[in-house]
A and B are shown apart, each in its own frame.
Chain A
Amino acid sequence: MAHEETVYDALDHAHGGEGQWAFGTGFDDPLAGVDTTVPEGVDPADLGAYCLMLGDDALVLCQRLTEWATRAPELEEEVALANCGLDLLGQARLLLARAGSCGVLGRSRDHATDSIPDEDALAYFRDPDEFVHHHLAEADGGDFAQTMVRLLVASSARLALFARLRDSRDPVVGAIAAKGVPELTYHRDHAARWVLRLGDGTAESHRRAQAGVDAVWPLTADLFTATDVEQRLVEQGVAVDPAATRDEVRDVLTMVLERATLTVPAWPADRPSPGRAGQHTDELAPLLATLQGLAREHPAATW
């Protein structure tokens, strides 16, 4: 009989026999070796809370995108959406790890066993009211057209924010943003081309794209009002005021929709984001159940 019982034992043995949490990826800490000192004069609680906002936007939208696995209209598109999701997951991991390095762990740390890294405790063991992403990320994706409209809006807003965040006074946030910019540029281009193709396509694809726009547009109301945490961090040169991105985001979205022969709905009045305050729709709990179920059933499992 072979030394290793299963192929998985063999793989594990080949990589040193260290148990692998984080779904077997071997990632222990995505910020290993990165200097996580909080800049002088910055409240670690604020910085951590901010990283959680940006991280949750990415984590939850990633989960929505991966719902297309095995369901996308063509294989290439399934791969594309999974790739976009993977980029967002990577951004989320870095940002959640940064939040953890600032000591922001919420109640989740008490639920999770000590052997689980902070980022995993934040991703898998927080309850819905502890998540602070915009409703835009959690909303049900609808059909493929609506999925592409949402991806266009979300990636346009995130790209405008990240482009400015590259100059953040927190070097870790600045580096995460700088890495994210080219990734988000690909996502935005990809979504924009699909919106163009669907909007300026057949009568049916146009109808669906317009319905997607009409469904997603009200969610843009949440994107441009800074929370108290963001306002304090803006003054310290750490965060970007989302209001400063509004014109650019609206210009990009208007340009794409007009080219796609779609009607640009009236922009909703800005409001403080309920999601940033932990207030979510009924759509979040089932999403988190799928995301967190395995980790909660088998805490600290290794394979």
Chain B
Amino acid sequence: MTSALEIAQTVTDPELPMLTLADLGVLRDVRTEGDQVVVEITPTYSGCPAMGVMRADLVHALHRAGFADVDVRTVLSPPWSTDWISDEGRRKLAAGGIAPPGAAPRHTGPIPLSLGPTRRTATCPVCGSADTEELSEFSGTACKALRRCRSCREPFEHVKEI
């Protein structure tokens, strides 16, 4: 029988379907407590509207695999970071036309204000050019920014660092 962990690792993100929840770093733990499978997931953003679907998809995948008793729990701490997206996840994002994030900022003390244009870089997932510009720090989902390639002119999304 396939283990609960292996089943849970196949469940994909509802908004980034090229990634599994494990690739995204949202799947925090899968363990067995007696006859119950306990799955822990963490939201990417506080308002992530996909949490309910993630929970339902995990429960159904595990039910189909024969695990009758499944409890999906939310963990809030430590907060999710794009640094938790796996290397495999980053490859899948780029292959899916979405630029993966760079390293997330880490601050100690007061959080500095950033008034200039963002200095982050992202490579165009279409043509590979590094000459890209940010159109908006906010895009179709909370976790992405909108950019444009200056070489091939294609717009693309970028998972922004958090």
A264 to nearest B CB, angstroms?
15
How far, in whole Å, are A215 and B136 apart by their CA atoms in the complex? 27
How far, in whole Å, are A84 and B59 apart by their CA atoms in the complex? 30
What count of chain A residues pass the 8 Å CB interface test?
Answer: 55
Known: A28-B52, A192-B115. A76 touches B146 (CB 8 A): yes
Q: Is the CB of A90 within 8 A of B45?
A: yes
A-B contact count (CB 8 A): 127
CB of A94 within 8 A of chain B? yes
Taking CB atoms and an 8 Å cut-off, the chain B residues in 131-149 that contact chain A are: 135-140, 142, 146
Q: Is the CB of B46 within 8 A of A178?
A: no
How far, in whole Å, are A159 and B79 apart by their CA atoms in the complex? 16
Known: A16-B56, A80-B136, A87-B46. A179 touches B111 (CB 8 A): no
Interface of chain B, main secondary structure: loop
Q: Is the CB of A94 within 8 A of B114?
A: no
Q: Is the CB of B59 within 8 A of A16?
A: yes
- Of A79, A159, A259, chain B has the most CB atoms within 10 Å of the CB of A79
- A185, closest chain B residue (CB): B111
A37 to nearest B CB, angstroms?
14
Residue of A33, A183, A186 near B74 (CB, 8 A) is A33
Residue of A84, A160, A175 near B79 (CB, 8 A) is A175
Q: Is the CB of A172 within 8 A of B76?
A: yes
Taking CB atoms and an 8 Å cut-off, the chain A residues in 108-124 that contact chain B are: none
Q: Is the CB of A25 within 8 A of B74?
A: no
CB of A267 within 8 A of chain B? no
CB of B90 within 8 A of chain A? no
Q: Is the CB of B43 within 8 A of A248?
A: no
A266 to nearest B CB, angstroms?
23
Contact code string A146-169 (vs B, CB < 8 Å = 1, else 0): 000000000000011001000000
Interface residues on B, range: 35 or more
Q: Is the CB of A83 within 8 A of B115?
A: no
Q: Is the CB of B71 within 8 A of A179?
A: no
Q: Which residues of B contact A90 (CB under 8 A)?
A: 43, 45-48
How far, in whole Å, are A178 and B34 apart by their CA atoms in the complex? 33
Q: Is the CB of A86 within 8 A of B71?
A: no
CB of A48 within 8 A of chain B? no
Beyond A76-B135, A163-B111, A175-B77, 15 extra complex contacts between A and B, CB < 8 Å = A30-B51, A34-B76, A79-B146, A91-B46, A159-B111, A160-B110, A163-B110, A176-B76, A178-B76, A179-B79, A180-B46, A183-B162, A186-B137, A256-B113, A256-B115
| B contact residues vs A (CB 8 Å cutoff) | 40, 43, 45-49, 51-53, 55-56, 59-60, 71-80, 104, 110-111, 113-115, 135-140, 142, 146, 160, 162
